[in-house]
Structure 1
Amino acid sequence: MEEIQEKNLNSDTITKLDEIVETILGEDKATFTLRDRTSGEILYTYRGERLMRPASNMKILTGAAAIAELGLDYRFKTEIYIDGNVEDHTLNGDIYVKGYGDPTINEAALKRFSEVLRECGILHVSGKLIGDDTYFSGDTLPPGVDDEGETHYYGARISPITMSPNDDFDASTIIVEATAGNIGEKPSFHVIPHLSGLQISNEAKTVDKNAENTLEIRRINNTNQIVITGDIPEGETAKVWVSHENPTKNTLLFFKELCKDAGIRFEQEDSIESGITPSHARLIHAHESRSIAEIFSIFMKLSNNSIADIFLKTMGKQKHGTGDYEHGLKVVRAYLEKQQIDFATWQFADGSGLSHHNCLHSNGISELLYVLQKEPYFQNFYESLPVGGNINRLVGGTLKDRFLEPELQQRIFAKTGYIHEVNTLAGYVTGKSGKDYIFSIMLEGREEGIPFLDEGLKAIIEAV
């Protein structure tokens, strides 16, 4: 074996770790680093400087930088302005919604915005509903997202004006739920919270309960058309998160519907546009999100891509005045430099790890996990990590169905990662001896890598 370094482990343990790399992880597929959690010393590393795609292990970097640079108390804003006078319950002018990237905007928040308009005496609007989404710049589509990914929640577009269908905070998405009817009938469907300007074509049918479920719910790439196709057996349901085609417009279309429900009418049928809030417009409402401290665990445990890139663009805007990927990644680099992490060979493309152009190595990831322990925000970071084998999804997160064996409970606190042919896992682990370690494992080139990764970590726990 090549490129192996170790210290403070006995020869039997080193031999066992060698065997794990050779027979489970795969010599040509893996990079692996094990550190002493207390001292930070590397105890074992195999190809620890080899660059590999981190997948969602990139969120370790983005998340740590966001806590440090934005702060746990940071809250995202959304502001409502009016430009014009209100006479006889008519706003003779426009309404502006100025967004700052709040991923927690939901139906309740948008309904509150409509109530604020009524409280200002507005029941009729002569002008337009204008979205000011200039806080972020550059492409709304995350780097590396292909045509298919653009339609799914994990590849949702990043906009300063967005909304989430529930408290998972998958920004710029809606949930479409289909329910089987009688055999031969189309399934019924329900949308949470609202179609928001998207359109659904239901071409599916209900089949016998013993038949195969081939139902598919998807948005056609770069359109507002959602199609439901295939067969759904009697008694079954299906739920899919579908991304917005244009988050700013789709969010405002739902807001307009809520205004209508509140008795507020727009004179112009086609009343939604994008634009810049005039300096003379009057602020009538400022909404604040939950704090980063409150949403950070959801972000990490459920590996939320949209929050990662919202964090990244927000850091770029706050620190460099430009809310795009390039300036956000400048902040991440500066953070790593401050932590004295050697990232000279690393490559960055986004904040979520979705792009295949990100490249890190296991020595560096594990080093960052070590130095984070000295930071005042470490407990927030640590508690946000998925816990192996804990079936509560808000505790176990992306590890809730892995490491279920009783002897592994409360041993593994780690961030998962997956993109095509890439599986990663990094965090904190307690060995069979009771000693605590930091680890980083990255696998490439396996179509189904999770079983190898998990069996490898189980064997590592047994060995140390």
Structure 2
Amino acid sequence: MKNKIFTYILIFTLIVSNFIFLHSASAASSLDQTVQSQLGNSNIGVSLRSLTTGKVLYEKNGDIGRKPASTLKLLTASAALDVLGPDFRFETQIYIDGDIQNNILYGDLYIKGKGDPTLNKNNFLTFAKVLKRNGIHKITGNIYGDDTAFSGSQLTPGIAVEDESFYYAARTTALTMSPNSDYDAGTMIVNVKPTKVGRSPQINAEPNTSGMRIQNRAKTVSKGQRNTINIVRRYNTNQIIITGNIPIGSSAKEWVTLFDPTINTLHALKLTLAGTGLKFPSTSTVKRKKVPESAELIYTNQSIPLKTLMNTFVKLSNNSIADILVKTMGKEVYGNGHINEGLKVINEYGESLGLHMDQWSFEDGSGMSHKNRVTPNELTYLLLNVRNEPNYRILYSSLPIGGQQDRLIGGSLRKRFTSTALQNRVVAKTGSITGVYTLAGYVTAKSGRTYTFAIMTQNQTSNKVDEIDQVVKKIINDY
């Protein structure tokens, strides 16, 4: 009797196993047809991996390195959570060097930055209150900025000349500021509003002009005419040129990178302090200078914790935060806030996860460089292995969710996978640079099973987002 039961169980197991195998083979074959029809065979890579077994269920050029674009942030974010810790906070310190008499600081003010990408005008207003609490209403000297926590070039490798003035290519220094709650550090926002027909429009900058020179060459035109406003920072200068026409009833807004975040932050700070009534002599200036030993620390500002910042970083694919985190990891681990030291830390973290780092090549942490390479199979392997990390839930929660309209939930996927049948099934990181479109993350199929996937395209002459989404939909329907 026992032998018969064993035989039945064995036969049943073989039948089920054979069915699963045939279904898997059929699904892979069908998926391959979709991949080929939507994306072709060359300059693409696809990997689909089981979370249960860890095995690759389907791949197309899975072991060929491709440009990851912003899917590289998956590794950067995971490394930062592990190396810095979820409760890590950036610090910005205020020092004074001199004597205070009759509410006058006979000396200089120092601000020492350590990379806080969230530093903003509200913090500057707090600094003004701190100074006044310390009995300071006038400063006779200068305002100095200490940005020695970071070293090397302000621009990350691979930034093209034509991208240098745009927010996604912002320069990185240890003393920087953000104009908004998205923490687009190293940028300022320029708003243009019409006045009267024939006159120059009104220009407003956030947090303020910050030492940038704005040339308003634009003109207000009658309602109904075309808005042709163009706002750009002239290459390698602090000059912002505004040209074109703005019709009555319209507006224009542009994020422009700061020419030198440290100096521009100092200008913005000084303008804000002066706006609260703090006085400076006409000879007062702003400069870089390391905090001297004679200076007295009077205040330390702390940013929001990394676990909170992670949401903005990943969902909105913030390049500035990525670059800052890389340098910060280098500073924290090796005492040198150089990008190369930070990349070394990320590489070592990848090795600790069991990744095959010989299949990774990167010169930044944001994915902006066209020299970055990683294989699709390694991306899905990262997504598999990172699930065992103590901070995985934070990382997972920071990923964009397909079809969720709130930009701090859906992020860069809020306008994709919007149908009821697809909503919430795709939790993944998008990537896009010139000619490159990528998507990597987790997908839950109609079967209820969840997989890791990576779809990578490069050298494309047209947008491939819709085609990538068709491949993901195929996975949802068939697996």
- Name the TM-score, length of structure 1 as normaliser: 0.95
Distance in 2 (alpha carbons) for counterparts of 1:215 and 1:147? 21
What pairs up with 1:280-291 in 2 under 5 angstroms? 280-291=294-305
SS at match of 1:265: coil
For structure 2, the residue ranges without an aligned partner over 5 or more in a row are: 1-19
Alignment match, 2:67: 53
Alignment pair present for 1:23 and 2:37: yes
Alignment match, 2:16: none
Distance in 2 (alpha carbons) for counterparts of 1:276 and 1:201? 33
Contact 1:128 1:271 in 2 (8 A): yes
State the Cα distance separating 1:241 from its structure 2 match.
Answer: 0.9
Alignment pair present for 1:436 and 2:439: no
What pairs up with 1:121-270 in 2 under 5 angstroms? 121-267=135-281, 269-270=283-284
Alignment match, 1:366: 380
SS at match of 2:308: helix
Alignment pair present for 1:272 and 2:286: yes
SS at match of 1:166: coil
Alignment match, 2:4: none
| More moved, 59-68 vs 208-217 | 208-217
Alignment match, 1:301: 315
Alignment pair present for 1:453 and 2:468: yes
Alignment match, 1:116: 130
What pairs up with 1:301-380 in 2 under 5 angstroms? 301-380=315-394
Residue identity (%): 43
State the Cα distance separating 1:89 from its structure 2 match.
Answer: 2.1
User: Match of 2:185, as an amino acid?
Assistant: A
Distance in 1 (alpha carbons) for counterparts of 2:121 and 2:439? 35
User: 1:419 is matched with which residue: 421, 429, 433?
Assistant: 433
Q: 1:213 to 1:9 in 2, by over 3 A?
A: farther
Distance in 1 (alpha carbons) for counterparts of 2:233 and 2:259? 8
Contact 2:99 2:106 in 1 (8 A): yes
State the Cα distance separating 1:88 from its structure 2 match.
Answer: 2.2
| More moved, 135-144 vs 428-437 | 428-437
Q: Deviations over 1:77-115 (max 9, x none)?
A: 000111111122222221111100001111110111122
SS at match of 1:51: coil
| More moved, 158-167 vs 221-230 | 221-230
Alignment match, 1:3: none
Contact 2:24 2:57 in 1 (8 A): no
State the Cα distance separating 1:8 from its structure 2 match.
Answer: 7.8
| More moved, 315-324 vs 369-378 | 369-378
Contact 1:7 1:42 in 2 (8 A): no
User: Match of 2:358, as an amino acid?
Assistant: A
| More moved, 375-384 vs 448-457 | 448-457
Q: 1:184 to 1:454 in 2, by over 3 A?
A: farther
Alignment pair present for 1:384 and 2:378: no
User: Match of 1:457, as an amino acid?
Assistant: V
User: 2:84 is matched with which residue: 48, 51, 70?
Assistant: 70
SS at match of 1:151: coil
| More moved, 71-80 vs 193-202 | 193-202
Distance in 1 (alpha carbons) for counterparts of 2:268 and 2:139? 16
- Name the TM-score, length of structure 2 as normaliser: 0.93
State the Cα distance separating 1:400 from its structure 2 match.
Answer: 1.0
State the Cα distance separating 1:232 from its structure 2 match.
Answer: 2.8
Q: Deviations over 1:227-249 (max 9, x none)?
A: 11123343222211111111111
State the Cα distance separating 1:347 from its structure 2 match.
Answer: 1.1
Distance in 2 (alpha carbons) for counterparts of 1:48 and 1:332? 22
Contact 1:386 1:400 in 2 (8 A): yes
